[in-house]
Amino acid sequence: MNLLVLYSMPTDKDMVNKFGICPSTRHLSVLFPEKGAARTPPDKIFLAVVLQGGAMVEIDGKSQLIHAGTLIYLHPNHLVRQISRTEDFLFEYLWFEFDFLSDFPLLLKADISEYVGKNPCLQLKEKDCQLVKKYYDLIAERYQESDEHIAITKGLLFSFILEISRLYSGRNVSVSNTRQDELTDRFFFLLHRHYREERSVSFYADKLYISDKYLMRVLKKATGQTFHFWVTEFVMREAKLLLRSTTISITEISERLNYPNPSFFSRVFHQYVGMTPKEYRYQ
């Protein structure tokens, strides 16, 4: 089973600004293809809200019922597809690349980011839905009006993400821009791109121009988890997704994830998950 990368045709302006926004549309297939599954891109985040109607979609092998008032937050590398939708289905969405907000502090604290990654669909209360809609409309207005307002668009988007973090976590999220926050942000940016092939702390530390020990200390303090935890978490999440959502062999999965051989991959998987890859696939 081949996995396509989710892609929608950007405008020239979108390409330059690494950001795009779509007014209300019925074309759910832009985000959730009808024929086969697709990957969300490794460098983009999608934010969508359902305006009316309903649909059944699948995210990382898990069926999700979405309807009016559902907020959808798609991280990179989700496996998505559309199962069904009503005739009156309507939604709107925006997307941005990590680099678009590189001048701002950490977007999502690690614990919230992990929760969002595992629970991408959130049913909003009426007042929260109205707030999300106001943000969306204002961002669209400022972005579409003039290139001169791109700085304002970025500021509004950053505030929007803080509000979404609050909605997911149930608490206000403090905004800080310390050196440690910047390093943590950049680490996860790099991890999203390289976790399949790079697992050494020295690779990421070199990219961040810091020592191995300092990176490990920063991550432990900022996230409460170790460097090796995050790398293994990303890799094992991908392995479980491939085992459940595709028919490719365990050998091929181990090769995709850059393990030296299937036996070593199976041993690591068993230590982390508590069962062999084969047992996990057919449980």
Q: What radius of gyration, in Å, describes the C-alpha atoms of the chain?
A: 19
User: Is the Cα dihedral 72, 62, 36, 67 positive or negative?
Assistant: negative
Q: Which region among 4-13, 142-151, 229-238 has the lowest average model confidence (pLDDT)?
A: 4-13
Residues 261-271 as b/e (b if ≥16 CB within 10 A, e otherwise) read: ebeebbebbee
Pairing mode of beta strands 121-123, 54-59: unpaired
Q: Is 2 exposed, middle or buried (0-12, 13-18, 19+ CB in 10 A)?
A: exposed
Condensed to tens digits (0 to 9), the pLDDT of residues 186-211 reads 888 788 888 888 999 999 999 999 99
**CATH code, 4-169:** 2.60.120.280
**Phi and psi for 122 in degrees, rounded to 5?**
-130, 125
pTM of the model: 0.69
Indicate whether 212 pLDDT > 90: yes
Q: Do residues 57 and 33 make contact, with C-beta atoms less than 8 angstroms apart?
A: no
Beta bridge partners of residue 84, listed in sequence order: 56
- Residues 283, 277: Cα–Cα separation, whole Å: 10
Q: Do residues 101 and 151 make contact, with C-beta atoms less than 8 angstroms apart?
A: no
Condensed to tens digits (0 to 9), the pLDDT of residues 64-108 reads 999 999 999 998 888 899 999 999 999 999 999 877 876 666 555
Condensed to tens digits (0 to 9), the pLDDT of residues 101-137 reads 766 665 556 667 777 878 899 999 999 999 999 999 9
CA 273 to chain centre: 22
**All structural domains of the chain with their residue ranges:** 4-169, 179-282
Instruction: Give the DSSP per-residue string, 154-190.
Output: HHHHHHHHHHHHHHHHSS-------HHHHHHHHHHHH
Q: Which fold has domain 179-282?
A: Arc Repressor Mutant, subunit A (1.10.10)
